[in-house]
Amino acid sequence: MSSEEAAEPAGGTGRARVERALLADLLTEVGPERPTLCTGWTTHDLVAHLVTRERVPRAGPGLVIPALHGVTERAERSTGQAHSFAELVELFRSGPARWNPSRLRRFDDATNVNEFYVHYADVDRAVPGFTPRALDPVSRERVWSALRLLGRTGYRGTGAEVIAERTDTGARRVLRRGTPTVIISGVPEEILLHAFGRRSAAQVEIQGDPEAVASL
């Protein structure tokens, strides 16, 4: 990869760029007041979160450190109040701030394909009658690889062993060690949604010990 390619902004080419455009288009289509799968958030709140995540440095630590989450929430409210919904969508569509490492295509693809797909589902699946949107084959493999770490985080609250099983290939991956065993079956992006806490919206099948299944 050339240095010129490595420094290409997120607005260039790449899998995350495609997911960004799809999410921006969906937000524009449904407007600012649509409910989402993020409890208490409308689409206006969601896009304010996305813009803050990429453009407000002080908000970053609170995305991963619970004690600082209040700082992030205040920054998100400020962003949402400072811009109209249309402005927020265009800011998101245009990509991250110049200091943000997501302007590097490989970093963008590694971190944002998952993020944007999940938030697309947050909007699309919040109302009845949705049709699941499948990922392209390359992005699907990225999600499958990322599930090793994301699954460990997503299922840390259960004592069970959690195994992901792909319904498209039959491949399996242990997401968390423990006992007894629970098997979550689906295509990688649906397992991703389940691991990210979108339990009711994820189209997966879960088998195993009833108490362990209930703990998920």
Which DSSP string do the residues of the chain spell out, in sequence order? Answer: --HHHHT--TTSSSHHHHHHHHHHHHHHHH-TT-B-SSTT-BHHHHHHHHHHHHH-GGGSGGGT-GGGHHHHHHHHHHHHHHS-HHHHHHHHHH-S-TT-GGGSHHHHHHHHHHHHHHHHHHHHTTSTT--PPPPPHHHHHHHHHHHHHHHHHHTTT--SEEEEEETTT--EEEEE--SSEEEEEE-HHHHHHHHTT-TTT---EEEE-HHHHHH-
The answer to whether the pTM exceeds 0.85 is yes
Same domain, 119 and 15: yes
Domain count, the chain: 2
Same domain, 35 and 65: yes
pLDDT band for 158, please (50, 70, 90 cuts).
Answer: confident
Report pLDDT digits (tens) over 127-147.
Answer: 998 999 999 999 999 999 999
Residue 12 lies in a domain: yes
Report pLDDT digits (tens) over 1-25.
Answer: 333 333 344 444 599 999 999 999 9
Same domain, 60 and 105: yes
Same domain, 65 and 151: no
CATH code of the domain covering residue 184: 3.30.1050.20
Single out the residue in 124, 149, 183 at which a domain terminates: 124
Report pLDDT digits (tens) over 162-199.
Answer: 999 999 999 999 999 999 999 999 999 999 999 999 99
Same domain, 96 and 175: no
Considering Cα of 105, then 110, then 112, then 116, what sign does the dihedral take?
A: positive
pLDDT value at position 88? 99
Same domain, 151 and 57: no
Same domain, 90 and 45: yes
Average pLDDT rounded to a whole number, residues 81-85:
98
Same domain, 79 and 104: yes
- What would the two tokens of residue 70 be? 């209040």
Residue 131 lies in a domain: no
Domain boundaries, position 204: 137-215
